Protein backbone atom coordinates (compact mmCIF):
# COMPACT_ATOMS: atom_id res chain seq x y z
CA UNK A 1 0.00 0.00 0.00
CA UNK A 2 1.25 3.47 -0.93
CA UNK A 3 -0.41 6.59 0.46
CA UNK A 4 0.66 10.21 0.30
CA UNK A 5 -1.13 13.52 0.70
CA UNK A 6 -2.02 13.29 -3.02
CA UNK A 7 -1.98 9.73 -4.38
CA UNK A 8 -2.93 6.31 -3.13
CA UNK A 9 -2.23 2.85 -4.51
CA UNK A 10 -2.84 -0.65 -3.20
CA UNK A 11 -1.43 -3.79 -4.80
CA UNK A 12 -1.99 -7.47 -4.20
CA UNK A 13 -0.82 -10.68 -5.89
CA UNK A 14 -3.35 -13.52 -5.96
CA UNK A 15 -1.14 -16.58 -6.20
CA UNK A 16 -3.89 -19.15 -6.83
CA UNK A 17 -4.93 -17.36 -10.04
CA UNK A 18 -1.55 -15.76 -10.88
CA UNK A 19 -3.11 -12.30 -10.99
CA UNK A 20 -1.92 -8.86 -9.87
CA UNK A 21 -4.71 -6.46 -8.84
CA UNK A 22 -3.93 -2.76 -8.39
CA UNK A 23 -6.12 0.11 -7.23
CA UNK A 24 -5.05 3.74 -7.77
CA UNK A 25 -6.50 7.10 -6.76
CA UNK A 26 -5.19 10.36 -8.18
CA UNK A 27 -7.01 13.62 -7.23
CA UNK A 28 -8.48 15.98 -9.84
CA UNK A 29 -6.88 19.22 -10.99
CA UNK A 30 -8.07 22.66 -9.93
CA UNK A 31 -7.52 25.62 -12.26
CA UNK A 32 -8.58 28.03 -9.52
CA UNK A 33 -6.14 26.42 -7.06
CA UNK A 34 -3.16 25.04 -9.04
CA UNK A 35 -1.33 24.38 -5.79
CA UNK A 36 -3.83 21.62 -5.10
CA UNK A 37 -2.85 19.71 -8.24
CA UNK A 38 -1.14 16.40 -7.70
CA UNK A 39 2.61 17.01 -8.21
CA UNK A 40 3.91 14.71 -10.97
CA UNK A 41 6.66 13.45 -8.66
CA UNK A 42 4.01 12.07 -6.27
CA UNK A 43 2.21 10.28 -9.08
CA UNK A 44 5.54 9.05 -10.47
CA UNK A 45 6.33 7.49 -7.12
CA UNK A 46 2.95 5.73 -7.29
CA UNK A 47 3.52 4.51 -10.86
CA UNK A 48 7.05 3.33 -10.07
CA UNK A 49 5.81 1.29 -7.12
CA UNK A 50 3.12 -0.34 -9.27
CA UNK A 51 5.66 -1.17 -11.99
CA UNK A 52 8.16 -2.60 -9.53
CA UNK A 53 5.50 -4.74 -7.85
CA UNK A 54 3.87 -5.97 -11.09
CA UNK A 55 7.13 -6.90 -12.81
CA UNK A 56 7.95 -9.32 -9.99
CA UNK A 57 5.32 -11.65 -11.47
CA UNK A 58 6.33 -12.16 -15.08
CA UNK A 59 3.49 -14.49 -16.10
CA UNK A 60 0.69 -12.80 -14.16
CA UNK A 61 -2.54 -11.38 -15.44
CA UNK A 62 -2.56 -7.70 -14.46
CA UNK A 63 -5.66 -5.69 -13.55
CA UNK A 64 -5.23 -1.99 -12.73
CA UNK A 65 -8.28 0.00 -11.70
CA UNK A 66 -8.95 3.38 -10.16
CA UNK A 67 -9.95 7.01 -10.40
CA UNK A 68 -7.17 8.66 -12.41
CA UNK A 69 -8.92 12.02 -13.07
CA UNK A 70 -7.35 12.44 -16.52
CA UNK A 71 -10.32 13.45 -18.72
CA UNK A 72 -8.17 14.81 -21.54
CA UNK A 73 -6.57 11.46 -22.43
CA UNK A 74 -7.84 9.35 -25.32
CA UNK A 75 -7.17 5.90 -23.87
CA UNK A 76 -7.93 4.05 -27.11
CA UNK A 77 -4.73 5.36 -28.73
CA UNK A 78 -3.45 6.29 -26.02
CA UNK A 79 -2.57 9.98 -26.27
CA UNK A 80 -3.35 13.41 -24.83
CA UNK A 81 -6.07 15.07 -26.88
CA UNK A 82 -4.91 18.16 -28.76
CA UNK A 83 -6.59 21.51 -28.16
CA UNK A 84 -7.21 20.83 -24.49
CA UNK A 85 -6.30 23.44 -21.88
CA UNK A 86 -4.22 21.22 -19.64
CA UNK A 87 -2.03 22.29 -16.75
CA UNK A 88 1.58 21.20 -17.11
CA UNK A 89 1.54 18.95 -13.98
CA UNK A 90 -1.58 17.25 -15.33
CA UNK A 91 0.04 16.64 -18.71
CA UNK A 92 3.10 15.15 -17.01
CA UNK A 93 0.90 12.86 -14.92
CA UNK A 94 -0.96 11.76 -18.06
CA UNK A 95 2.34 10.86 -19.69
CA UNK A 96 3.22 8.78 -16.63
CA UNK A 97 -0.12 6.92 -16.82
CA UNK A 98 0.38 6.24 -20.52
CA UNK A 99 3.89 5.03 -19.73
CA UNK A 100 2.42 2.61 -17.19
CA UNK A 101 0.12 1.22 -19.90
CA UNK A 102 2.98 0.76 -22.31
CA UNK A 103 5.35 -0.82 -19.79
CA UNK A 104 2.83 -3.46 -18.71
CA UNK A 105 1.15 -3.89 -22.14
CA UNK A 106 -2.22 -2.81 -20.75
CA UNK A 107 -5.44 -1.93 -22.52
CA UNK A 108 -8.06 0.42 -21.03
CA UNK A 109 -11.52 -1.18 -21.15
CA UNK A 110 -13.99 1.54 -19.99
CA UNK A 111 -15.54 3.33 -22.98
CA UNK A 112 -18.49 5.17 -21.38
CA UNK A 113 -18.26 8.43 -19.38
CA UNK A 114 -18.08 7.79 -15.64
CA UNK A 115 -18.86 11.27 -14.29
CA UNK A 116 -21.68 13.64 -15.29
CA UNK A 117 -22.00 11.88 -18.62
CA UNK A 118 -18.92 13.70 -19.92
CA UNK A 119 -15.57 12.26 -18.91
CA UNK A 120 -14.01 8.82 -18.51
CA UNK A 121 -12.24 9.23 -15.17
CA UNK A 122 -12.60 5.75 -13.67
CA UNK A 123 -10.51 3.23 -15.55
CA UNK A 124 -9.93 -0.52 -15.85
CA UNK A 125 -6.68 -1.68 -17.44
CA UNK A 126 -5.84 -5.31 -18.24
CA UNK A 127 -2.99 -7.06 -20.00
CA UNK A 128 -5.30 -9.81 -21.27
CA UNK A 129 -8.63 -8.54 -22.55
CA UNK A 130 -9.95 -12.07 -23.04
CA UNK A 131 -10.45 -11.90 -19.28
CA UNK A 132 -13.16 -9.24 -19.69
CA UNK A 133 -16.71 -10.44 -20.30
CA UNK A 134 -18.27 -6.97 -20.17
CA UNK A 135 -17.92 -3.50 -18.67
CA UNK A 136 -20.98 -1.48 -17.65
CA UNK A 137 -21.29 2.03 -16.24
CA UNK A 138 -24.31 2.75 -14.05
CA UNK A 139 -25.48 5.97 -12.38
CA UNK A 140 -25.63 5.95 -8.60
CA UNK A 141 -26.80 8.42 -5.97
CA UNK A 142 -23.98 7.39 -3.63
CA UNK A 143 -21.31 9.35 -5.51
CA UNK A 144 -20.79 12.00 -8.19
CA UNK A 145 -18.92 9.24 -10.06
CA UNK A 146 -20.84 6.43 -11.73
CA UNK A 147 -20.41 2.81 -10.74
CA UNK A 148 -18.20 0.75 -13.04
CA UNK A 149 -18.95 -2.96 -13.09
CA UNK A 150 -16.43 -5.21 -14.79
CA UNK A 151 -17.42 -8.87 -15.24
CA UNK A 152 -14.47 -11.27 -15.53
CA UNK A 153 -14.26 -14.67 -17.17
CA UNK A 154 -12.71 -16.84 -14.49
CA UNK A 155 -12.09 -19.52 -17.14
CA UNK A 156 -9.38 -17.20 -18.50
CA UNK A 157 -7.57 -17.10 -15.14
CA UNK A 158 -4.90 -19.74 -14.41
CA UNK A 159 -5.98 -22.03 -11.60
CA UNK A 160 -9.70 -21.66 -12.31
CA UNK A 161 -11.57 -23.81 -14.79
CA UNK A 162 -10.11 -26.29 -17.24
CA UNK A 163 -9.11 -26.21 -20.89
CA UNK A 164 -12.51 -27.57 -22.08
CA UNK A 165 -14.25 -24.95 -19.93
CA UNK A 166 -12.26 -22.18 -21.62
CA UNK A 167 -13.22 -23.35 -25.09
CA UNK A 168 -16.87 -23.68 -24.16
CA UNK A 169 -17.25 -20.43 -22.22
CA UNK A 170 -15.45 -17.97 -24.48
CA UNK A 171 -18.59 -15.97 -25.16
CA UNK A 172 -21.32 -18.42 -24.24
CA UNK A 173 -22.87 -17.47 -20.88
CA UNK A 174 -23.87 -20.32 -18.62
CA UNK A 175 -26.95 -18.44 -17.39
CA UNK A 176 -29.42 -16.12 -19.09
CA UNK A 177 -28.63 -13.54 -16.42
CA UNK A 178 -25.00 -13.42 -17.64
CA UNK A 179 -26.14 -11.69 -20.83
CA UNK A 180 -28.26 -8.91 -19.32
CA UNK A 181 -27.43 -5.73 -17.42
CA UNK A 182 -29.82 -5.80 -14.46
CA UNK A 183 -28.50 -2.45 -13.20
CA UNK A 184 -30.25 -0.75 -16.11
CA UNK A 185 -33.37 -2.92 -16.12
CA UNK A 186 -36.91 -1.53 -16.15
CA UNK A 187 -37.93 -2.98 -12.80
CA UNK A 188 -41.45 -1.53 -12.90
CA UNK A 189 -42.19 -3.50 -16.08
CA UNK A 190 -40.48 -6.61 -14.69
CA UNK A 191 -42.60 -6.53 -11.53
CA UNK A 192 -45.77 -5.96 -13.55
CA UNK A 193 -45.09 -8.89 -15.88
CA UNK A 194 -44.06 -11.22 -13.05
CA UNK A 195 -47.25 -10.36 -11.16
CA UNK A 196 -49.30 -11.26 -14.23
CA UNK A 197 -47.38 -14.49 -14.97
CA UNK A 198 -49.00 -17.91 -14.75
CA UNK A 199 -47.16 -19.83 -12.02
CA UNK A 200 -49.36 -22.95 -12.10
CA UNK A 201 -46.76 -24.90 -14.08
CA UNK A 202 -44.18 -24.13 -11.42
CA UNK A 203 -46.44 -25.00 -8.49
CA UNK A 204 -47.51 -28.29 -10.07
CA UNK A 205 -43.99 -29.49 -10.87
CA UNK A 206 -43.21 -33.07 -9.87
CA UNK A 207 -40.23 -32.17 -7.67
CA UNK A 208 -38.42 -29.19 -6.14
CA UNK A 209 -35.56 -29.16 -8.66
CA UNK A 210 -37.93 -29.07 -11.62
CA UNK A 211 -39.98 -26.31 -9.98
CA UNK A 212 -36.84 -24.25 -9.38
CA UNK A 213 -35.69 -24.67 -13.01
CA UNK A 214 -39.08 -23.57 -14.33
CA UNK A 215 -39.19 -20.64 -11.92
CA UNK A 216 -35.70 -19.52 -12.99
CA UNK A 217 -36.60 -19.79 -16.68
CA UNK A 218 -39.66 -17.57 -16.27
CA UNK A 219 -37.79 -14.94 -14.25
CA UNK A 220 -34.84 -14.91 -16.66
CA UNK A 221 -37.11 -14.55 -19.69
CA UNK A 222 -39.04 -11.67 -18.12
CA UNK A 223 -35.88 -9.87 -17.01
CA UNK A 224 -34.37 -10.37 -20.45
CA UNK A 225 -37.32 -8.65 -22.13
CA UNK A 226 -36.96 -5.53 -19.98
CA UNK A 227 -33.16 -5.25 -19.58
CA UNK A 228 -30.41 -4.16 -21.96
CA UNK A 229 -27.71 -6.62 -22.90
CA UNK A 230 -24.17 -6.38 -21.62
CA UNK A 231 -22.05 -4.58 -24.21
CA UNK A 232 -19.15 -6.68 -25.46
CA UNK A 233 -17.13 -4.83 -28.07
CA UNK A 234 -16.15 -6.40 -31.39
CA UNK A 235 -12.50 -5.97 -30.46
CA UNK A 236 -12.99 -8.01 -27.27
CA UNK A 237 -14.68 -10.82 -29.24
CA UNK A 238 -11.94 -10.88 -31.83
CA UNK A 239 -8.95 -10.64 -29.50
CA UNK A 240 -10.29 -13.12 -26.96
CA UNK A 241 -9.40 -15.89 -29.41
CA UNK A 242 -5.77 -14.79 -29.69
CA UNK A 243 -3.27 -16.68 -27.47
CA UNK A 244 -2.05 -14.55 -24.59
CA UNK A 245 1.64 -14.56 -25.57
CA UNK A 246 0.79 -13.51 -29.14
CA UNK A 247 -1.56 -10.80 -27.84
CA UNK A 248 1.27 -9.35 -25.72
CA UNK A 249 3.52 -9.20 -28.79
CA UNK A 250 0.78 -7.41 -30.75
CA UNK A 251 0.37 -4.80 -28.00
CA UNK A 252 4.13 -4.32 -27.81
CA UNK A 253 4.29 -3.76 -31.58
CA UNK A 254 1.40 -1.28 -31.38
CA UNK A 255 3.09 0.78 -28.68
CA UNK A 256 6.45 0.64 -30.45
CA UNK A 257 4.83 2.30 -33.47
CA UNK A 258 3.57 5.14 -31.26
CA UNK A 259 6.87 5.87 -29.50
CA UNK A 260 9.34 8.03 -31.45
CA UNK A 261 12.79 6.49 -31.73
> Please, are residues 154 and 170 in contact by the beta-carbon 8 Å criterion?
no
Whole-number pLDDT of residue 4:
75
Q: Residue 84 has what pLDDT?
A: 67
Question: In this predicted model, what pLDDT tens digit does every residue of 53-105 receive, in sequence order?
Answer: 999 998 889 999 999 999 899 998 888 887 667 888 888 999 999 999 999 99
The alpha carbon of 168 is separated from its chain's Cα centroid by a whole number of angstroms, namely 22
Distance between CA atoms of residues 194 and 24, nearest Å: 42
HEC profile for 154-191?
Answer: HHHCCCCCCHHHHHHCCCCCCCHHHHECHHHCCHHHHH
Q: Who contacts 142 (Cβ-Cβ below 8 Å, separation ≥6)? A: none
Q: Is the pLDDT score of 22 beyond 80?
A: yes
More confident residue, 257 or 194: 194
Residue 139: predicted pLDDT: 81
Beta bridge partners of 14: 19
Is 113 a residue whose pLDDT tops 50?
Answer: yes
Q: What is the pTM of this model?
A: 0.66
Residue pair 120/75 in contact (Cβ under 8 Å)? The answer is yes
What is the spatial distance between Cα 151 and Cα 148, in angstroms, rounded to a whole number? Answer: 10
110 in Cβ contact with 145 (< 8 Å): no
Q: What is the pLDDT of residue 234?
A: 47
pLDDT above 90 as % of the chain: 28
Is the confidence at residue 232, as pLDDT, over 60? no
The pLDDT of residue 243 is above 50? yes
Kind and range of the H or E element at 123?
A: strand 122-126
Amino acid sequence: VLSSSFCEASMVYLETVDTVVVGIYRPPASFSHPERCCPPEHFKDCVDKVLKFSKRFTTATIIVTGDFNLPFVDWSVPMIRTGKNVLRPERQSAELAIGLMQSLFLEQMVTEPTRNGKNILDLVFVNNNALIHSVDVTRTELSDHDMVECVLRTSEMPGLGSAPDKAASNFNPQSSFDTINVHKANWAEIREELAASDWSDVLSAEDQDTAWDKFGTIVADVCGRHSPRHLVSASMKKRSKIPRDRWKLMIKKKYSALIPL
